[in-house]
Amino acid sequence: MKDKALHFAFRYGAIIVIIGVITFFSVRLPYFFSLNNFADILGSITIVTFVAIGVTLSLIVDGFDLSVGSTVSLTTIGAASLMIWYEQPLYIVILVPLIIGAVIGLLNAFLIVKLRIPDLLATLAMMYIVGGIHKTYTQGYNIYNHMAFQDGTKAPGEMTKSFLQLGQGKWLGIPISVILLLIAVAVVHIFLTRTKYGRQMYVTGGNVEAARLSGIKVNKVRTLAYVASGVFAAIGGILFASRVGSGQIDAGSPLLMESVAAVFVGFSVFGAGKPNVIGTFIGSVLIGVLVNGLTMMNLQYFTHDIVKGTVLVLALAVTFYVLNRSKT
Q: Dump the DSSP string for 134-147.
A: HHHHHTT--B-TTP
pLDDT digits (tens, 9 = 90+) for 101-144: 999 999 999 999 999 999 999 999 999 999 999 999 999 899 99
User: Residue 102 burial by CB count (10 A; 0-12/13-18/19+): exposed, middle or buried?
Assistant: middle
User: Residue 36 burial by CB count (10 A; 0-12/13-18/19+): exposed, middle or buried?
Assistant: exposed
Per the structure, the complete domain to which residue 208 belongs is given by 2-327
CB atoms within 10 A of CB 8: 12
The yes-or-no verdict on residue 293 having pLDDT over 90 is no
CA distance 187 to 166: 19
User: Residue 305 burial by CB count (10 A; 0-12/13-18/19+): exposed, middle or buried?
Assistant: middle
CB atoms within 10 A of CB 259: 32
Of 1-15, 123-137, 182-196, 261-275, give the lowest mean pLDDT range: 1-15
Using pLDDT thresholds of 50, 70 and 90, give the confidence band for residue 41.
confident
The count of domains in the chain is 1
**Predicted pLDDT at 85:** 95
**Secondary structure class of 233 (helix, strand, coil):** helix
The yes-or-no verdict on residue 244 having pLDDT over 90 is yes
Half-sphere exposure of 328 (CA within 13 A, CB side): 7
Listed ranges 217-221, 302-306, 312-316; the one with the highest mean pLDDT: 217-221
Domain of 169, CATH number, reads 1.10.3470
Greater confidence (219 vs 152) lies with 219
pLDDT digits (tens, 9 = 90+) for 57-73: 999 999 999 999 999 99
The yes-or-no verdict on residue 322 having pLDDT over 70 is no
Greater confidence (35 vs 148) lies with 148
Mean pLDDT of the chain: 89
The yes-or-no verdict on residue 290 having pLDDT over 90 is no
